[in-house]
Amino acid sequence: MKIFIEIFAVLCMISATVTLAKSGGSAAAQLDQYATDPLNATYLIEGRAVHLIDGSREVAAALGSATKIRTAVLGQPVYGDMDGDGDKDAALLLTHDPGGSGTFYYVAAAINVNGRYQGTNAVLLGDRIAPMDIVIRNSAIVVNYADRRPEEPMSARPTVDKTAQLSLKDDQLASPGLTEIVKSAIGSQKVTFDFTRLDDDGLYGAADAKRALSYEFCIPDTVQHRTEVNRIDPTVKFFAQSPGRIGCSKSESLCIGSTHQKDFRGVLQRLAELTYVQRIDESFFE
């Protein structure tokens, strides 16, 4: 009787294994797999587990389809401690081509667990951007890349410098709200306040007491300049010959705007790109 029970248990295990193999298993279960190195780990891209072999993967978009979905590591992984255990974890950039016209860039991590690597979810940076570098600094992944302005077509060359900062939280790579640092065309940072504390609606504070952040900057006091700024940022109010805290001159107009608007990060970015805007400070009212 004992022999028959053992045979039955083995047959059940085989059946379960075959069923899991046919279904591909759950994405979460596949992420529990461990690899010898980051180039052979499994990563979660848009809810699907993608297992890389030597840094790449290619599968048919559908059964019998000639269209291929291609995923590959861009460059080489970089190493540093992300989870505070003293081991060298890895960060990497992934390109993901789902078969259409786009090539999407993602950031992912591979966590070192006793010498083997477990992949994380992948966080989208953008479509057809221009990555520059990736490092692990202070337990966070920092990626510098170039993107387009929101109004520019995909055919335009990415010229807007951005930085994304991502860290682990509950074994997941934090999704953007990316810590975008606005830079001018020559690379100097003009936005002087930290707006990473803002949510996607441009608000900060306790859940029951959220508020917008106001910012101020100076522009030449002309109709032409006010019109250009207002097209970029409809929240801006103009105060001619008022110095504000930022110290506008008598020939300049003080501008005060609000982060509580659609795509406030993009708005700040475009304002920072104006050659006559020297800096953008947080505005405080007394």
Kindly tell me the number of DSSP H helices and DSSP E strands found in the chain. Answer: 4, 18
The DSSP symbol for 275 reads: T
Distance CA 188, CA 183 (A): 6
Q: What pLDDT does residue 29 have?
A: 53
Read off the pTM.
0.56
**For 185-211, what is each residue's pLDDT tens digit?**
333 468 887 777 788 888 988 888 889
Q: What pLDDT does residue 13 have?
A: 40
Torsion (CA) 222, 226, 228, 234 in degrees, nearest 10? 180
Q: What pLDDT does residue 230 have?
A: 94
Helix 264-272 and helix 223-232: axis angle, to 10°? 150
Chain-centroid distance, C-alpha 62: 28
* Beta strand spans in 46-200 (E): 48-51, 56-60, 68-80, 89-97, 104-113, 116-119, 123-127, 130-137, 140-147, 160-169, 172-173
Q: What pLDDT does residue 17 have?
A: 37
Q: What pLDDT does residue 177 have?
A: 46
215 in Cβ contact with 283 (< 8 Å): yes
Stretches where the chain sits below pLDDT 70 are 1-32, 175-189, 286
Burial pattern 125-134, b for ≥16 Cβ within 10 A else e, equals bbebbbbeeb
Q: What pLDDT does residue 199 have?
A: 85
Distance CA 228, CA 217 (A): 14
Q: What pLDDT does residue 67 have?
A: 85
* Bond into 177 cis (ω within 30): yes
**For 81-106, what is each residue's pLDDT tens digit?**
999 999 999 999 999 998 777 889 99
| 51 contact partners, CB below 8 Å, separation of at least 6 | 30, 33, 40, 41, 42, 57
The DSSP symbol for 177 reads: S
Q: What pLDDT does residue 10 have?
A: 40
CB-CB neighbours of 198 under 10 Å: 20
Q: What pLDDT does residue 122 have?
A: 93
CB-CB neighbours of 151 under 10 Å: 8
Tracing tokens 């030449």 back to the chain, one arrives at: 220
Please work out, in degrees rounded to the nearest 5, the angle formed at the alpha carbon of residue 144 by the alpha carbons of 141 and 149: 130
Distance CA 135, CA 90 (A): 9
- The full set of domains in the chain, from first to last, is 30-173 (no CATH), 203-282 (3.30.70.260)
